[in-house]
């Protein structure tokens, strides 16, 4: 079976996307325009400022707290605190990337990006840049992609675009695929759209399947279909996966790979039933040998796991 070839850049994105849990916490602050600076009149104290307007109007309800206590942008010093931690170095940087940086990037993405660009080349700078791009892409993918399109470094353009496309795919897979094609990501990363289809099928297989069926016939469509088949098999929908592979993927290498994928997933969860199915393969079927090899591999894994468990 064909596996998704993950480049170094894609692996970094997936690690970062996984760390955010496929998720950013909602901000209580009003959304600032991309690139906007923090308020020129920051709150005088961490406790915030008492809004006395209601009291002056004769309203006796409890005063409203604005500023830091309410999460308002006027007292948001996440950028300053983040830069201080990065300047000091140490393990605290990892926590700051997960907490302070998203807050700063959501409030003032261009300011955060300018700071990240000023850092020396290396893994830290790359991680910070990707984190900012992911946050911005979630809030305003159009602005983020426009900024990305102006990057001189082609490698950065593609890796940043992939980060934004992954964010778009969370709620609108079709737009994410279109953005990946529009930004040229597909040219250097031909496996990226199949990956998006696989993620889509994991969340909503019927919608993904409907989209795949609408694509022009050919090897690319077959590859997309194989991703849906894989997710069905992974979800233990073996009969549906088999039918889809046989009915929707023309006989040949791609269909054989899809069927072997089903054998692999089935054998991991129910070796006995998978064996019964494989035994129905005709002796003349060249796929029979590959299928039994998958079964043997599953047996070895199960035996090893049992021995390690002391059974």
Chain segment 167-186, per-residue pLDDT in tens = 999 999 999 999 999 998 88
Give the pLDDT of residue 308.
78
The whole-angstrom distance between residue 247's C-alpha and the CA centroid of its chain comes to 30
Give the pLDDT of residue 306.
77
- The proportion of the chain whose per-residue pLDDT surpasses 70, expressed as a percent, equals 75
Give the pLDDT of residue 244.
97
Under 8 Å CB-to-CB from 222, ≥6 apart: which residues? 249, 250, 254, 255
Confidence check: pLDDT of 247 > 50? yes
Q: Where are the alpha helices (DSSP H) in the chain?
A: 8-19, 53-56, 78-88, 92-98, 100-107, 109-117, 123-139, 141-149, 154-169, 173-182, 185-188, 192-213, 219-234, 238-248, 253-269, 271-278, 287-308
Of 44 and 221, more confident = 221
Give the pLDDT of residue 311.
55
Give the pLDDT of residue 303.
85
pLDDT in tens, 265-301: 999 999 999 999 999 999 999 999 999 999 999 999 9
Classify residue 214 as exposed, middle or buried by CB count within 10 Å of its CB (0-12, 13-18, 19+).
exposed
DSSP characters over 54-89: HHHTT--SPPEEESGGGT-GGG--HHHHHHHHHHH-
pLDDT in tens, 194-232: 999 999 999 999 999 999 999 999 999 999 999 999 999
Confidence check: pLDDT of 142 > 90? yes
Spatial contact of 145 and 27, defined as CB atoms under 8 Å apart = no
pLDDT in tens, 89-117: 888 999 999 999 999 999 999 999 999 99
Helix H or strand E encompassing 107: helix 100-107
Of 15 and 160, more confident = 160
Give the pLDDT of residue 22.
35
pLDDT confidence of 130, banded at 50, 70, 90? very high
Confidence check: pLDDT of 137 > 80? yes
Confidence check: pLDDT of 74 > 80? no
* Average pLDDT of the residues of the chain: 80
Give the pLDDT of residue 193.
95
Report the pLDDT averaged over residues 134-142. 93
Confidence check: pLDDT of 63 > 90? no
Q: What span, in angstroms and rounded, lies between the C-alpha atoms of 30 and 138?
A: 15
Report the pLDDT averaged over residues 11-40. 40
Report the pLDDT averaged over residues 160-171. 93
Give the pLDDT of residue 11.
42
Lowest-confidence pick of 35-49, 80-94, 240-254 = 35-49
């Amino acid at each position: 079976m064909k596996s998704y070839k993950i480049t170094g850049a894609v692996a970094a994105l997936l690690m970062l996307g996984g760390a955010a849990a496929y998720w950013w916490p909602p901000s209580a602050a009003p959304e600032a325009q991309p690139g906007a600076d923090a308020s020129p009149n920051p709150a005088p104290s961490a406790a915030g400022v008492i809004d006395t307007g209601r009291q002056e109007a004769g309203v006796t309800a409890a005063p409203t707290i604005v500023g830091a206590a309410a999460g308002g942008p006027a007292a948001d010093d996440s950028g300053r605190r983040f830069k201080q931690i990065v300047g000091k170095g140490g393990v605290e940087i990892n926590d700051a990337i997960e907490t302070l940086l998203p807050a700063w990037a959501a409030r003032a993405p261009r300011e955060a990006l300018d700071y990240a660009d000023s850092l020396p080349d290396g893994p830290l700078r790359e991680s910070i840049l990707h984190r900012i791009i992911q946050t911005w892409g979630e809030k305003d993918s159009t602005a983020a992609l426009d900024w990305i399109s102006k990057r001189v470094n082609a490698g950065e353009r593609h890796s940043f675009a992939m980060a934004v496309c992954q964010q778009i795919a969370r709620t609108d897979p079709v737009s994410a695929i279109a953005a990946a094609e529009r930004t040229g990501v597909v040219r250097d990363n031909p496996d990226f759209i199949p990956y998006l289809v696989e993620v889509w099928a994991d969340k909503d297989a019927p919608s993904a399947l409907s989209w795949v069926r609408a694509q022009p016939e050919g090897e690319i469509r077959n590859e997309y279909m194989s991703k849906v088949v894989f997710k069905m098999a992974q979800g233990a929908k073996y009969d549906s996966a088999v039918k889809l592979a046989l009915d929707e993927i023309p006989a040949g290498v791609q269909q054989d790979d899809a069927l072997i994928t089903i054998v692999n997933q089935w054998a991991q969860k129910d070796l006995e039933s998978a064996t019964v199915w494989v035994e129905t393969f005709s002796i003349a079927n060249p796929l029979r040998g590959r299928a039994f090899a998958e079964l043997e591999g599953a047996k070895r894994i199960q035996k090893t796991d049992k021995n390690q468990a002391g059974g």
